[in-house]
Homo-oligomer: A and B are copies of this chain.
Amino acid sequence: MVARVQALPFDLSAEMAGFGVGAGAVVTFTGVVRDDGGDLAALEIEHYPGMTEAALRDHGLTAAARFGLSDWRIVHRFGRIPVGGPIMMVATAARHRRSAFDGADFLMDWLKSRAPFWKREIARDGSASWVAARAADEDALSRW
């Protein structure tokens, strides 16, 4: 039951130590800065200090109640993250795999379009552009 916002990288294995003890199923999702065309140097992520962690925690609790999660964890970074670097992770633990999968999926759909983060792409030539919200992410959220 952890929600954390941080500038530093995180380590999936360290995050998973002691996670979900007693559960039968553990799912993790990790988002990584992907270089699509070879032009991207980094992402720069802005967030809303004060609101962010509370919003992550609220949503983790909502997911836990809805999907019967025995444990959950959300870690999201802000600041500059180079290509290949980890952006965020969620982990869910439950008795059965369906709950763990659905809980993680739900948390991700919510994070994509309701958590107060904004991404900017920094190209290798130094130019920057804000990432536009994807209609597909909004659609994904409407499934739940």
Contacts and interface: CB of A to CB of B under 8 A. Distances in A.
Contact of A16 (B13, B27, B95, B104): B13
B13 A35 contact: no
Quickly give the copy total for this chain: 2
Contact of A30 (B25, B30, B140): B25
Given A13-B13, A16-B12, A101-B104, A34 B23 contact: yes
Given A97-B108, A105-B101, A29 B25 contact: yes
A29 B105 contact: no
Interface residues on A, range: 20 to 34
A23 B28 CA distance: 15
A31 B101 contact: no
Interface string A107-144: 01000000000000000000000000000000010000
B28 A28 contact: yes
A29 B108 contact: no
A24 B32 contact: yes
A52 to B, nearest CB: 20
A63 interface: no
Contacts of A32: 20, 23-26
Contacts of A27: 27-30, 104
Interface of A: 11-13, 16, 20-35, 84, 95, 97-98, 100-101, 104-105, 108, 140
